[in-house]
Amino acid sequence: MSGPPGGSVRPVDATRPQTALSRVAVADIAVRLFDQQGYDATSTVDIAEAAGISRSTFFRQFRAKEDVIFADHAELVASIDEYFRVSHADPWLAVCEAATMVFARFHERLEIARVRDRVVRDTPVLRDREAIMAIRYERLFASYLRSAVPGVPPLTAIRFAAAVTATHNFVLRRLIRAEDNVGRFSLAAELAEVRRLFHPDAAAPAPEGRSAGELVVAVFPAATDPGVLARAIEERLRAQARSL
């Protein structure tokens, strides 16, 4: 891990032999420059000089300046795509585990993740790119489910993928923006809840005192939004469990 977020970024001494920096290492240097100097005020020349590489080398690693912000994501998308190529007994769980892979990467690199979060929040064009990246994860998850789960309705796959992505992003933001390094929310528990709501086979055991085969019947207007319906049923079941 490189120095503290507020520390200065020192150019590499070009007179000494250098070990080639990885794409992510160059991106980390760029992110710190953005944090210190401002995104718009930092040029690709500034980044190349600070990283001790030529401008042509920079453009071999990145297509444009804004790509350095999302270097981690590009690698993670490739890793997830490879992960999905392997057969998984429970594709729904596999999607949650893929989201956990993303979370683990940023948890390990929490310091630089916090620097990057500040830069993105202060830069509208980067906020837009971040939103596009979230959609990329959603599409990757939904596409995998549609290919791995025979007969799954396309909209169900899309909804599940969107819920997993949104849950991951919510928990990750809580971790990044917390005052300490311990997140107050458990990603595993929250993703388990998403699976329970969308995937019947992942339903939690019946609470003590209630028969596992007991039925709960609910009647709602046909036009009710599925998300509203799921939350209403969940609240009703939890209320009933507390009364037992």
- How many domains, the chain? 2
Domain that holds residue 191: 70-206
Ranges of the chain whose pLDDT falls below 70 = 1-20, 179-185, 199-244
Packing angle, helices 110-121 and 23-37, rounded to 10: 50
Distance CA 29, CA 7 (A): 11
Q: Which two tokens stand for residue 214?
A: 């007991």
Q: Note the pLDDT of residue 41.
A: 95
If asked whether residues 217 and 107 sit together in one domain, one would say no
Q: Which CATH number fits the domain that encloses residue 162?
A: 1.10.357.10
Please report the pLDDT score of residue 16 as a whole number.
41
Whether residue 121 is contained in a domain is answered as: yes
Establish if 94 belongs to a structural domain.
Answer: yes
Tell me if 34 is assigned to some domain: no
The answer on 219 and 156 residing in a single domain is: no
> Does the predicted TM-score (pTM) go above 0.95?
no
Q: Is residue 25 part of a domain?
A: no
pLDDT tens profile 6-23: 444 544 444 444 456 888
Identify the pLDDT of residue 21: 82
- Confirm whether 182 is domain-assigned: yes
Helix/strand/coil (H, E, C) string of the chain?
A: CCCCCCCCCCCCCCCCCCCCCCHHHHHHHHHHHHHHHCCCCCCHHHHHHHHCCCHHHHHHHCCCHHHHHHHHHHHHHHHHHHHHCCCCCCHHHHHHHHHHHHHHHHHHCHHHHHHHHHHHHCCHHHHHHHHHHHHHHHHHHHHHHHHHCCCCCHHHHHHHHHHHHHHHHHHHHHHHCCCCCCCCCCHHHHHHHHHHHHCHHHCCCCCCCCCCCCCCCCCCCCCCCHHHHHHHHHHHHHHHHHHC
